[in-house]
């Protein structure tokens, strides 16, 4: 029989070998059995605890191992995707395989961070430049507004005064001021158009024989009146060995020198403007020479030497307010010189004066067939064109009246057509020497009318007389058969010069 509190295995052994009587009669044996029993029980308990601990450790190990495997899988997936993404950057010379993979990725990321940082710095610089340019343009628009409104104010005001006074004396007193104001406005618009034309790459350099000394003399003559207003004198200094007969674009060279002389006059008071021509070399059929325009005016700060040649820029804002001007003249001059294969340089000292100079290398005219440079100057004399028959296709009554009166001074026979459709009808029933064609008209514009006329007559000269100064419009006009164009407001001398080309007695 199993005794209470005895371990089952010990109890089974006692029942097999010892009787209950023997145990009861031997207290020492009973005590020994109790000790053995306690050992059995302790072993049983330790075994259970060990098994339980083992089970718990296995579970935690499995859980931790699973988590670790998941983390490794995530890292491998992230690394794989990162490698694929970086390969999209087309990075050369970097190994993305092997044990150093992660290190290479870090290097690439650092490189990308540096690139992004540099790009951001460039963006900040571009932003600053854009802001400066915007400020310059705003200042330019302010200057332009002033320059345009000033002659307009004189024109409008004097017309009002002449209407009120209504006297011959008032007319004679004010007509010259009106003429000068209108001319200033005309030159201002021409500067803007020239600048846009150069910017658009629409300026072609001609190759025409001309005499540079004659050209400079004519510029001096035309600028002398303006120089006298500031109590200035203009002096021409030509080297004894200078070769004057050249081949290039006299109109553009005239424009360059005129701009520089005009600037010198504007910024000089009671001083001298010198135009110097120095021969540097004559090699075979080419002349290399230097042109200097030197004044004794206010001078330019050395820090401003570069900015004065930028568009919309003058040396200082107060300069434009004090002396006028748009800030386009020097920019146009520099761009024209670039087209001629040269550049412009400046030397100046505040309060002493300024020297603008450039060097040209041009072919020499050995045949001495220079054109009459009077054609390029304001002192060009209009010729009588009696007998020339012109069809004027124009819808604006004021423009019609102006054109009629101007051409009437040259005895030109003018027939009128108020739109392109009437112009085509009159062309089909009459004979004309030249057609002056406005481009923007109702019913039928000048483009369509020219296209129709060119279907039956390829030879009759058609000159566009238009206010559409956009190069896109003008290029389109030339493509459909317009021979040449005159931009409104036009200079009567230019119109006379162009009509004279088609005049035969």
Task: Please tell me the predicted confidence (pLDDT) of residue 209.
Answer: 85
For the chain, what's the residue count?
505
Classified as helix, coil or strand, 289 is strand
Task: Please tell me the predicted confidence (pLDDT) of residue 340.
Answer: 93
Q: How far apart are CA 190 and CA 193, in angstroms?
A: 5
More confident residue, 118 or 273: 273
Q: How far apart are CA 236 and CA 223, in angstroms?
A: 13
Q: How many CB atoms lie within 10 A of CB 328?
A: 21
Q: How confident is the model at residue 370 (pLDDT cuts 50, 70, 90)?
A: very low
Q: How do residues 463-496 score in pLDDT, each as one tens digit?
A: 998 776 555 666 788 889 999 888 777 778 889 9
Q: How confident is the model at residue 389 (pLDDT cuts 50, 70, 90)?
A: very high
Q: Is pLDDT above 50 for 373?
A: no
Cα distances (angstroms) measured from residue 209 to each of 229, 244, 246, 368: 34, 10, 6, 8
Task: Please tell me the predicted confidence (pLDDT) of residue 25.
Answer: 79
User: 103-199 has which fold?
Assistant: Helix Hairpins (1.10.287)
Q: How far apart are CA 477 and CA 150, in angstroms?
A: 34
CATH of region 389-500: 3.40.50.2300
More confident residue, 76 or 392: 392
Q: Is pLDDT above 50 for 322?
A: no
Q: What's 208-376's CATH class?
A: alpha beta
**Cis peptide leading into 46, omega within 30 of 0?**
no
> For the chain, which residues make up each domain, given as ranges?
8-73, 103-199, 208-376, 389-500
Q: What is the CA angle 481-485-486, rounded to 5?
A: 160
Beta strands in 332-478 (DSSP E): 344-349, 353-363, 389-393, 413-417, 434-437, 462-466
Name 256's Cβ contacts closer than 8 Å, sequence gap at least 6.
Answer: 333, 336, 337, 358
Q: How far apart are CA 410 and CA 382, in angstroms?
A: 8
Task: Please tell me the predicted confidence (pLDDT) of residue 113.
Answer: 74
Task: Please tell me the predicted confidence (pLDDT) of residue 379.
Answer: 59
Cα distances (angstroms) measured from residue 116 to each of 102, 119, 122, 231, 451: 21, 5, 10, 60, 56
């Amino acid at each position: 029989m199993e005794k209470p509190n005895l371990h089952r295995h010990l109890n089974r052994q006692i029942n097999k070998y010892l009787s209950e009587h023997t145990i009861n009669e031997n207290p020492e044996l009973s005590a020994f059995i109790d000790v053995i029993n306690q050992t059995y029980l302790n072993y049983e308990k330790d075994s259970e605890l060990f098994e339980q601990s083992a089970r718990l450790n296995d579970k935690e190990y499995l859980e931790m191992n699973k988590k670790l495997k998941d983390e490794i899988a995530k890292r491998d997936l992230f690394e794989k995707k990162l490698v694929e993404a970086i390969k999209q950057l087309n990075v050369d010379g970097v190994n993305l395989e092997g044990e150093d993979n992660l290190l290479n990725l870090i290097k690439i990321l650092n490189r990308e961070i540096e690139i992004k940082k540099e790009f951001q710095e460039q963006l900040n610089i571009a932003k600053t430049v854009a802001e400066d340019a915007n400020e310059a343009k705003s200042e330019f628009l302010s200057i332009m507004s002033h320059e345009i409104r000033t002659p307009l104010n004189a024109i409008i005001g004097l017309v009002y005064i002449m209407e009120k006074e209504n006297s011959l004396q008032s007319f004679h007193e004010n007509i010259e001021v009106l003429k000068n104001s209108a001319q200033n406005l005309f030159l201002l618009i021409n500067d803007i158009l020239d600048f846009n034309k150069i910017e658009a790459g629409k300026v072609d350099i001609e190759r025409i024989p001309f005499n540079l000394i004659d050209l400079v003399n004519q510029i001096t003559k035309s600028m002398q009146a303006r120089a006298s207003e500031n109590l200035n004198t203009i002096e021409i200094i030509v080297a004894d060995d200078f070769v004057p007969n050249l081949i290039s674009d006299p109109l553009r060279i005239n424009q360059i020198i005129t701009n520089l002389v005009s600037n010198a006059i504007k910024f000089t008071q009671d001083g001298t403007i010198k135009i110097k021509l120095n021969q540097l070399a004559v090699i075979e059929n080419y002349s290399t020479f230097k042109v200097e325009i030197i004044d004794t005016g206010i001078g330019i700060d050395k820090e401003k030497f570069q900015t004065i040649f930028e568009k919309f820029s003058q040396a200082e804002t107060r300069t434009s307010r004090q002396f006028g001007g748009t800030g386009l003249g020097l920019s146009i001059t520099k761009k024209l010189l670039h087209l001629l294969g040269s550049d412009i340089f400046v030397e100046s000292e505040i309060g002493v004066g300024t020297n603008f100079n450039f060097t040209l290398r041009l072919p020499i005219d050995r045949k001495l067939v220079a054109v009459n440079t009077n054609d390029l100057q304001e002192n060009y004399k209009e010729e009588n064109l009696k007998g020339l028959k012109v069809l004027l296709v124009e819808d604006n009554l004021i423009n019609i009246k102006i054109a009629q009166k101007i051409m009437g001074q040259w005895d030109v026979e003018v027939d009128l057509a108020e739109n392109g459709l009437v112009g085509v009808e009159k062309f089909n029933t009459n004979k004309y020497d030249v057609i002056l064609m406005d481009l923007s008209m109702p019913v039928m514009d000048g483009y369509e009318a020219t296209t129709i006329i060119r279907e039956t007559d390829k030879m009759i000269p058609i000159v566009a007389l238009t206010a559409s100064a956009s190069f896109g419009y003008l290029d389109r006009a030339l493509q459909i058969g317009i021979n040449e164009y005159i931009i409104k407001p036009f200079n009567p001398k230019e119109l006379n010069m162009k009509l004279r080309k088609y005049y035969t007695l």
